[in-house]
Structure formats: structure tokens, C-alpha cells
Amino acid sequence: MSLLFLNIGSFEMILLLIPFFLYLYTFFTVAVHESLTSNERLLWIIVFLVFNILGTIAYWIWRNNSNSISSSR
């Protein structure tokens, strides 16, 4: 499969779809996460919309750090 008008082949398409699905999965995770308050949820959604992939990476790093801190108390 080749999208000639975009000059994108199959391999490039896969490399573009992986971050896209990670972004969607993270967005869904924030939307249904029960321990987030509505203000935190709104803040993360704004971060995702403004910073896209960097916001997604920041969420997973921040979430893992906050889980480890709260579980150690």
C-alpha cells in the first residue's frame, strides 16, 4: 500500500499510527479514570490538546510517580 499523494508507505503509516493510538488510549484513560477530580481531568485534557504526544508522555510519567508515592505511604 502506498499513498502516493502523501509519499507515505506502509512502514511510515505504522510509525504514524502507533503514537496516534497511544494518544487516543491515554485520552480515554483520563476520561474514565475514577481517582481524578473533574479539575484534574480537565487540566489533563487541555494538556493533551495543546502538547499532544509530549502531554501523553508526561501523563504516564506523572501517573506512575503519583501511584508509587501514594502506595508507599
Query: In this predicted model, what pLDDT tens digit does every residue of 25-68 receive, in sequence order?
Result: 998 999 898 888 889 999 999 998 999 889 988 998 988 676 65
Q: Cell numbers of 15, please?
A: 510509525
Cα–Cα distance, 23 to 26 (Å, whole number): 5
Number of other residues whose CB lies within 10 A of the CB of residue 47: 17
Q: Cell numbers of 70, please?
A: 501514594
pTM metric for this prediction: 0.68
Whether residue 71 is predicted with pLDDT greater than 80 in this model: the reply is: no
**Which residue did the predictor score with more confidence, 49 or 9?**
49
Query: Look-up: residue for cell 508507599?
Result: 72
**Any idea where the domains of the chain sit in the sequence?**
10-72
Cα–Cα distance, 11 to 47 (Å, whole number): 29
